[in-house]
Amino acid sequence: MKIIGPFSQIVTMQNLALKGALVDDRLHIIEEGGVCINDTTIKEVGKYADLVEKFRGAESEVITNPSVLLPGFVDCHTHICFAGNRNADYASRIAGKSYLDIAKAGGGIWNSVDQTRQATEQYLTSSLLQRVEQHLHNGVTTTEIKSGYGLNVEDELKMLRAIQQASLQTHSSLVPSCLAAHTLPKDFPGNHQAYLHFIIQDLLPVVRLQGLAKRVDIFIEESAFQPAAALQYLNVCRDMGFHVTVHADQFTTGGSKVAVEVNALSADHLEASTEKELQMIANSNTVAVVLPGASMGLGMPFAKARKLLDLGACVAISTDWNPGSAPMGDLLMQAAVMGASEKLTTAETFAGITCRAAHALGLHERGVIVPGFRAHMQAFPTHDYRDILYYQGTMKPCKVWA
């Protein structure tokens, strides 16, 4: 057992509603606080002096400088298992070409597929670990990671095994998702519906048998899969025992409706969502995951996070970190910048990258500093929690516990 503190402030994120707008007055803050942990679990949170008195003889980790303690961040949508980069795509985009134009010209997702197929499992594991450790250093203690750059049985399994191997070599929690339905492979001898059937018949049974992922994702878009086929696919995946999530409404609408119909854990992107789609999501149990990194990388408007919250949605914020449309991968910076643009409160922004992001992954034992939850925490070098967003992501944690 160990007592850690004192912290100038502990922002526990306790007792916040999972859906709808949040005011900063709802933030539960403990001044001069401490945390007692037992192995990997939080045992008690309170005034540091009270914990020292109550747990006499416990090991101590004394914090000597002013620090604010937050839960570890949760990045609930990433594509950080990949090889190569797409700097040529980025140069074309900032020169005026659209994402869809680049994809049709041979760039886009298929570029990453080519490079990832050529990479070894060992290379994918080591390069993934570097990104995971960078994230962990910046306070992200839980990271969802998708496959989707293999697009055949051999290379999708290679990606998922790399994620599994990386998870054994880091203190960070990694959550794999099978995104074999990312786009129709150029070398597949059939149409979109035949490819989805192929995934169901030949890939997902192996994924389930080998315990490589419990989540399935699909990209519903003009350049990927149409809503009707995606709905059928996700229903089968759910019947197989997988949790489902959806890339929805990035460029055109249709995906969010599918997500709500299949009761997906989350609908991610939503940049193209209209009032109709936003209201539909807000009235559902599906988490709206907004991805400021994709908007920044593509030069597009942010998803309407303010509107979603005001309508009553559960809004999580994630990076979409990937080699093409969102190469930055800095969760706090992206959340802070989007929060300023969308006029999100501090409570809404913090919730979007902690407890609400954990909810998007179906993880209910992290994202809040309370007894019984995982001891995923981070300390920032300040005495006032408001500094963290004020510096727009340039203030980084001085210590991370995972």
Q: What is the pLDDT of residue 148?
A: 98
pLDDT at 105 over 80: no
pLDDT at 103 over 80: no
Percentage of residues of the chain with pLDDT beyond 90: 93
Name the DSSP letter for residue 72: P
User: What is the spatial distance between Cα 233 and Cα 227, in angstroms, rounded to a whole number?
Assistant: 10
User: What is the spatial distance between Cα 183 and Cα 46, in angstroms, rounded to a whole number?
Assistant: 49
**Bond prior to 227 in cis (omega within 30° of 0):** no
Q: What is the mean pLDDT of residues 58-76?
A: 97
pTM: 0.97
Give the tens place of pLDDT for each residue, 316-356: 999 999 999 999 999 999 999 999 999 999 999 999 999 99
pLDDT at 91 over 80: yes
Assign 106 a pLDDT band (cuts: 50, 70, 90): confident
Question: Which tokens in the block code for residue 99?
Answer: 């994402």
Name the DSSP letter for residue 55: T
Cβ-Cβ contacts under 8 Å for 70 (sequence gap 6 or more): 11, 13, 139, 350, 354, 369, 377, 378, 379, 380, 385, 388
With H, G, I as helix, E, B as strand and everything else as coil, classify residue 44. strand
Phi-psi region of 327 (alpha: psi -120 to 50; beta: other; left: phi over 0): alpha
Q: Are 294 and 300 in contact (CB under 8 A)?
A: yes
Cβ-Cβ contacts under 8 Å for 301 (sequence gap 6 or more): 271, 295
Q: What is the pLDDT of residue 101?
A: 79
Percentage of residues of the chain with pLDDT beyond 70: 100
Assign 389 a pLDDT band (cuts: 50, 70, 90): very high
pLDDT at 98 over 90: no
pLDDT at 99 over 80: no
Q: What is the pLDDT of residue 97?
A: 84
Q: Which of 332, 357, 367 is nearest to 13 (CA)?
A: 367
Q: Are 267 and 281 in contact (CB under 8 A)?
A: yes
Q: What is the pLDDT of residue 16?
A: 97
Question: Which tokens in the block code for residue 224?
Answer: 């990927």
Q: What is the pLDDT of residue 92?
A: 86
Unique residue bearing structure tokens 């193209």: 272
Q: Which of 202, 168, 190 is nearest to 178 (CA)?
A: 202
Assign 44 a pLDDT band (cuts: 50, 70, 90): very high
Q: What is the mean pLDDT of residues 257-277?
A: 98
Q: What is the pLDDT of residue 31?
A: 98
What integer best gives the mean pLDDT of the chain? 96
Q: What is the mean pLDDT of residues 23-52?
A: 97
pLDDT at 107 over 80: no
Assign 259 a pLDDT band (cuts: 50, 70, 90): very high
User: What is the spatial distance between Cα 338 and Cα 320, in angstroms, rounded to a whole number?
Assistant: 14
107-121, 133-147, 282-296, range with the lowest pLDDT: 107-121
User: What is the spatial distance between Cα 6 and Cα 144, in angstroms, rounded to a whole number?
Assistant: 32
Q: What is the mean pLDDT of residues 246-270?
A: 98
Give the tens place of pLDDT for each residue, 178-234: 999 999 999 999 999 999 999 999 999 999 999 999 999 999 998 899 999 999 999
